A and B are shown apart, each in its own frame.
Chain A
Amino acid sequence: EAEVAQSPRYKITEKSQAVAFWCDPISGHATLYWYRQILGQGPELLVQFQDESVVDDSQLPKDRFSAERLKGVDSTLKIQPAELGDSAMYLCASSLQGAKNEQYFGPGTRLTVT
C-alpha cells in the first residue's frame, strides 16, 4: 500500500538553529499539505501545494518558515531560526486533486527545540 514518507522521524535542535523536514507524497498525488500539531491539539494547516504552486500559506509564519516543492513531487519545510515554541509534530499529507479526495498522512517529524 502506498504511503507518505517523511524524514527525519525525530529532530532535536537548539533555538536559533536551522532545521529542515522532507516529505515524499503518494505517487500521483498532486496536492501536498504541511500541518503542525502541537501536543494535545489537532493539526493546523501551514501550507498547501497544488503541483509546485502554493495554494494556501496563510498560516505559515513567513519570517522564519519556508516551504518548497520544486518539481511538484517531494517537498521540504524549513525553519530558520528555530524557536522554543516551534516544538511540535510536523505532518505531511497528500491527496489527489479535487475537494472530495481524502488526505493521507505520513508518520510525522517530531521536533524538539531546546
Chain B
Amino acid sequence: GEDVEQSLFLSVREGDSSVINCTYTDSSSTYLYWYKQEPGAGLQLLTYIFSNMDMKQDQRLTVLLNKKDKHLSLRIADTQTGDSAIYFCATKASSYKLIFGSGTRLLVRP
C-alpha cells in the first residue's frame, strides 16, 4: 500500500540550514507537499512540487525531488527559532487523497 516515511527528529543551530527528508512508495504520486504544524495547531501548507519537477525554490525553502529513488527533501536556509515545529511530508496520487508521513520534529537551538 501507499506509505510515506520520515525521520522523527532533527536538531539544528539557529542560522544553519535544515534538511528534512522523506521517502514514499507510491510511484503514481503526482503532487508532493510539505506542511508545518506548530503545537496544538492545524497544518500550514508550506510548499509543494509537481512530480515532473526536480526542484522548487520559494524564499528560504528549497524542495528537491528524486523521482527515481522516491525521495523528497525540504531544505530551510538560515533556520530560525520560529521554524521549530513538526514538518509533514504528504503525497497525492490521482485519488485526491493525501498520504502523510508521521512527521519530523525540528528543534532549532539558539
Contacts and interface: CB of A to CB of B under 8 A. Distances in A.
A40 B86 CA distance: 10
A31 B96 contact: yes
Interface in A66-114: 91, 93, 99-100, 102-108, 110
Which of B88, B94, B96 has most A Cβ within 10 Å? B96
B100 interface: yes
A99 B102 contact: no
Contact of A42 (B41, B44, B48, B90): B90
B42 interface: yes
Contacts of B41: 107-108
Interface in B65-110: 88, 90, 92, 94-98, 100-103
A97 B74 CA distance: 27
Interface string B6-42: 0000000000000000000000001101010000111
Interface residues of B, number: 25
Contacts of B96: 31, 48, 55-56, 99
Given A56-B95, A102-B48, A43 B31 contact: no
B4 interface: yes
A42 to B, nearest CB: 3
A56 B35 CA distance: 22
- 7 tightest Cβ-Cβ pairs between the two chains A and B: A42-B100, A105-B42, A105-B43, A107-B42, A108-B42, A106-B42, A42-B102
20 contacts: A6-B42, A41-B102, A42-B4, A45-B97, A48-B97, A91-B42, A91-B43, A99-B94, A100-B50, A102-B33, A102-B45, A102-B48, A103-B45, A103-B98, A105-B35, A105-B44, A105-B45, A106-B42, A107-B41, A107-B42
